[in-house]
């Protein structure tokens, strides 16, 4: 297998971007990644997207984005795994380069959520229609059940959840791409309105438009394009039952653990080797579960990590220095690629106000549904 | 790059399958492919699907299908490129095996179209929303414009189109998986009702439910599983402008020509080396354009091929011996994989009543939209 590196990365501002269409989100982020590497040709494009068909009435994004980039002809396809679509697009691009088929492959993710669609209804189609949606549950409800199970099993509290959001906003306030650049106090979070008990508004990621892209090439060609390539050491993916009720234990995200285990094995690394991580905090409870599933802390210890600063900047393992999905925003199909952009920035020492000093190895974990799919990538600055 | 082979293939009956859900279509076809190879474990699953989100309110098919197969945990993702989703799923699976990452990778395609959705409206989201759909055009209209352009440029007639449909039904009548197993006369076709002039009902593929799957593994392991592996010699993909009006010439499917050229180059073969082919005849005019774009006949000669028997069983290059999309049916995301199933059957000498004698090399061409994406695979019995 050929070794693969990221040679360019870029993303749009995240937010309610009423002046940018789905195609604008792609072109803006793709050109940033390509310009970052000084590249004006591509061998192939992958575009992660959850549901442009439902959000804006447009399927068939492969030719759309190649065309909009001024590159009709280039092979392009859409990858979908709900909110893990972006991470899966990186995985697909990785395979194409690793196989020896292509040298310059763009992995992008885009989602246009603010365009009039019933967002909660569309997002619900990432859960099990027959076993969940028909009975009326949506994602805040599903993650509320995960939170309740975690509280029951490990003694996690609403305050524990809230510290995750406080940390997210503290970091996101320093991220020029973030949707919400406001510091939030513990009181702000704990008095925000209840969405699905015990989850409050500030425990939930927002509705966001955005795009992100990373450009991959064989490691042995990377220095043609950049002084600071970032090697992909490992990719791990997994699924679990689509319906939450069919999982062994709703308090543990088994899909994250399995995808992480596969990525660690491929990279020949352990959790303690990770210097900085972006994880899928679609709801505050998800971040706590991810700490545990990825081995950053022991089972049941996730609840204390944010409060005690373990995952804060300067802590043992800084997590979501970008502000995470909570503060940076969560354009669902773009999120996994945006996580990679943050990690690439960190490993190049371009992390700005949230740079983790001396970061050499970073991890990005991207999840779909209530924990039905997950993909983990491990990166190393070289 | 590791060499890759198909070791198992299977598909559901195609048709209006009111007693089968989306998940049934996957499980039925996946188990057929796995049982064909005697395999009960998988390393990874790709599922080609155009629009389950709009057709049946279900995105996130990766974990759904892994779960339904009784294999939660296995990495799985959905591939979308409109009606070329199935072919692109095979391409993705090919890369994963070729890279050395995985050994047993299932490439499947499923589409449940008969479940109450506005099918024409959903399919239209594969064309350009901003430049085409908003003005009211749907796919029969787009292909009617391609037909008119071809008639103008090459003198193609309604009768030429009709011979393609006559051939399709003659072959499909012998295919136990086909939706319409009826022979149709030239008069039947030419007197069927007009859908979008000059296209009549019997020039158009139907609305179909179906699933298909092929199981890939490294060529050097293929004989562990089957006496008749089928090697994938080449994969070629391309895009063109999503909107028909932006193409250089609507009479020629440039996307098919480019994807074919790439596949021929990878396989180191020429059109004359192909013994049997399945091409994307969503409308009769598309098959005529594909003859030309794939080099089976010269430019402008496609109109005569079906009438003169060039592409008939026993002809120079039999095309769509399965009955094609017209007679076999066109469950959009499954079509590309079903084409591969037919070619695999042919190269194993298991083509039944439509076996092409001595077929050694076969080609499958799968298209999205009005010719905005295309993927070609070339197979060889080994």
Tell me the C-alpha distance between A61 and B237, whole Å.
15
Residue with tokens 């959905």: B78
Tell me the C-alpha distance between B139 and B125, whole Å.
10
Q: Judge if the upstream peptide bond of residue A198 is cis by omega within 30 degrees of 0.
A: yes
Residue of A73, A129, A240 lying closest to B238 (CB–CB): A73
A57–B125 CB contact, under 8 Å? yes
Sign of CA dihedral A213, A214, A216, A221: positive
Q: Is A138 on the interface with B (CB under 8 A)?
A: no
Tell me the C-alpha distance between B106 and B30, whole Å.
8
Sign of CA dihedral A153, A312, A230, A20: positive
Burial degree of A88 (CB within 10 A; 0-12, 13-18, 19+)? buried
Contact A1, A218 (CB under 8 A): no
Q: Which helix (H) or strand (E) holds B107?
A: strand B105-111
Contact A247, A144 (CB under 8 A): no
Contact B90, B214 (CB under 8 A): yes
List A60, A83, A169, A282, catalytic entry: A83
- What's the pLDDT at A35? 98
CB contacts, 8 Å: A72 with chain B: 239-241, 246
CA-atom Rg of chain A in angstroms: 19
Q: Is A58 on the interface with B (CB under 8 A)?
A: yes
Q: Is A67 on the interface with B (CB under 8 A)?
A: yes
Tell me the C-alpha distance between B169 and B178, whole Å.
9
Q: Which helix (H) or strand (E) holds B233?
A: strand B230-239
Query: pLDDT tens digits for A250-274?
Result: 999 999 999 999 999 999 999 999 9
A77–B88 CB contact, under 8 Å? yes
Q: Is B352 on the interface with A (CB under 8 A)?
A: no
Q: Is B79 on the interface with A (CB under 8 A)?
A: yes
* The two structure tokens encoding residue B37: 């190879």
List A150, A169, A280, A330, catalytic entry: A330
* The two structure tokens encoding residue B4: 């890759």
Tell me the C-alpha distance between A174 and A353, whole Å.
6
Tell me the C-alpha distance between B97 and A183, whole Å.
47
Count of C-beta atoms within a 10 Å radius of residue A77: 33
Tell me the C-alpha distance between A326 and A195, whole Å.
14
> Is this model's pTM higher than 0.80 or not?
yes
Residue with tokens 């943050």: A342
Tell me the C-alpha distance between B338 and B310, whole Å.
23
* The two structure tokens encoding residue B149: 């352009």
Helices A85-98 and B85-98: crossing angle in degrees, nearest 10, is 60
- Which string of DSSP letters, residue by residue, matches A212-254? EEEEEEEGGGGGGT-SS-EEEEEEEEEE--SSGGGSS-TTS-H
Residue closest to B172 by CA, chosen among B322, B27, B49: B322
What residues pair up with A209 in beta bridges, in sequence order? A15
Helix (H, G, I), strand (E, B) or coil at A275: coil
ipTM higher than 0.85? Answer: yes
* The two structure tokens encoding residue A51: 């549901």
Query: Length of chain A in residues, anyone?
Result: 382
Residue with tokens 């088994």: A254
- What's the pLDDT at B36? 98
CB contacts, 8 Å: B372 with chain A: 60, 63-64, 67
A239–B75 CB contact, under 8 Å? yes
CB contacts, 8 Å: B101 with chain A: 1, 95, 98, 235
Helix (H, G, I), strand (E, B) or coil at B143: helix
- Is B83 catalytic? The answer is yes
How far CA B201 is from CA of B196, B284, B366, in Å, comes to 9, 10, 21
A interface test, pick of B44, B86, B239 with most A CB neighbours within 10 Å: B239
Residue closest to A44 by CA, chosen among B126, B340, B308, B262: B262
Residue of B63, B73, B126 lying closest to A60 (CB–CB): B126
Residue of A21, A77, A129 lying closest to B58 (CB–CB): A129
Name residues of chain B where pLDDT drops below 70: none
Residue closest to A233 by CA, chosen among A110, A342, A340: A340
Count CB pairs under 8 A between chains A and B: 213
* The two structure tokens encoding residue B114: 């008969």
- What's the pLDDT at B78? 98
Query: pLDDT tens digits for A142-199?
Result: 999 999 999 999 999 999 999 999 999 999 999 999 999 999 999 999 999 999 999 9
Tell me the C-alpha distance between A32 and A213, whole Å.
8
Residue of chain B nearest A129, judged by CA positions: B58
Contacts with B142 (C-beta within 8 Å, 6 or more apart), sequence order: B127, B132, B244, B370
Query: pLDDT tens digits for A354-373?
Result: 999 999 999 999 999 999 99
CB contacts, 8 Å: B259 with chain A: 75
Tell me the C-alpha distance between B39 and A373, whole Å.
24
Tell me the C-alpha distance between B376 and B296, whole Å.
14
Tell me the C-alpha distance between A37 and A25, whole Å.
19
pLDDT band of residue A325 (cuts 50, 70, 90) is: very high
Helix, strand, coil fractions of chain A, as percent rounded to 5: 40, 20, 40
* The two structure tokens encoding residue B116: 């109450």
Contact B261, B228 (CB under 8 A): no
Residue closest to A210 by CA, chosen among A317, A31, A42, A338: A338
pLDDT band of residue A213 (cuts 50, 70, 90) is: very high
Q: Is A38 left (phi over 0), alpha (psi -120 to 50) or beta?
A: left
Residue closest to A47 by CA, chosen among A2, A83, A80, A94: A80
Query: pLDDT tens digits for A176-192?
Result: 999 999 999 999 999 99
Helices (H), ranges, chain A: 22-37, 52-56, 61-68, 85-98, 119-124, 139-154, 158-172, 186-190, 254-267, 284-293, 302-305, 324-328, 335-347
Residue of B60, B126, B133 lying closest to A372 (CB–CB): B60
Averaged pLDDT of chain A: 98
Tell me the C-alpha distance between A207 and A12, whole Å.
15
A239–B56 CB contact, under 8 Å? no
List B177, B203, B280, B330, catalytic entry: B330
Query: pLDDT tens digits for B147-181?
Result: 999 999 999 999 999 999 999 999 999 999 999 99
Q: Longest Cα pair distance anywhere in chain B, in angstroms? A: 56
Tell me the C-alpha distance between A48 and A31, whole Å.
16
CB contacts, 8 Å: B44 with chain A: 237
Residue closest to B379 by CA, chosen among B190, B152, B222, B176: B222
Tell me the C-alpha distance between B63 and B380, whole Å.
32
- Is B203 catalytic? The answer is no
């Amino acid at each position: 297998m050929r070794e693969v590196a990221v040679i360019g990365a870029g993303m749009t501002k995240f937010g309610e971007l009423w002046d940018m269409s789905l195609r604008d989100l792609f072109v803006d982020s793709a050109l940033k990644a390509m310009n970052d590497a000084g590249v004006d040709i591509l061998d192939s494009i992958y575009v992660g997207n959850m549901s442009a068909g439902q959000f804006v009435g447009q399927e068939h994004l492969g030719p759309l984005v190649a065309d909009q980039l001024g590159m009709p002809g280039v092979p392009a396809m859409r990858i979908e795994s709900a909110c893990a679509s972006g991470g899966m697009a990186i995985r697909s691009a990785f395979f194409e380069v690793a196989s020896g088929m292509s040298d310059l492959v763009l992995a992008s993710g885009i989602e246009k959520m603010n365009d009039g669609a019933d967002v909660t209804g569309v997002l619900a189609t990432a859960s099990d229609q027959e076993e969940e949606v028909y009975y009326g549950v949506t994602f805040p409800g599903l993650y509320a059940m995960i939170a309740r199970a975690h509280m029951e099993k490990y003694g996690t509290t609403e305050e524990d959840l809230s510290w995750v959001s406080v940390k997210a906003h503290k970091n996101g306030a320093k991220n020029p791409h973030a949707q919400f650049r406001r510091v939030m106090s513990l009181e702000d979070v704990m008095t925000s309105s209840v969405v699905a008990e015990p989850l409050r508004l500030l425990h939930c990621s927002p509705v966001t438009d955005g795009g992100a892209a990373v450009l991959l090439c064989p490691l042995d060609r990377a220095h043609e394009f950049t002084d600071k390539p970032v090697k992909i050491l490992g990719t791990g993916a997994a699924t679990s039952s689509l319906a939450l009720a069919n999982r062994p234990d709703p308090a543990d995200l088994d899909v994250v653990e399995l995808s992480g285990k596969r990525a660690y094995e491929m990279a020949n690394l352990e959790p303690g080797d990770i210097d900085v991580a972006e994880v899928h905090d679609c709801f505050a409870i998800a971040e706590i579960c991810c700490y545990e599933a990825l081995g950053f802390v022991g089972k049941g210890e996730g609840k204390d990590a944010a409060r005690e600063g373990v995952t804060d900047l300067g802590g043992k393992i800084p997590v979501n220095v970008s502000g995470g999905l909570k503060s940076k925003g969560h354009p669902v199909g773009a999120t996994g690629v945006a996580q990679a952009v943050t990690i690439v920035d960190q490993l190049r020492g371009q992390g700005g106000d949230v740079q983790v000093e001396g970061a050499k190895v970073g991890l990005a974990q991207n999840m779909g549904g209530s924990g039905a799919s997950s993909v983990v990538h491990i990166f190393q600055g070289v």
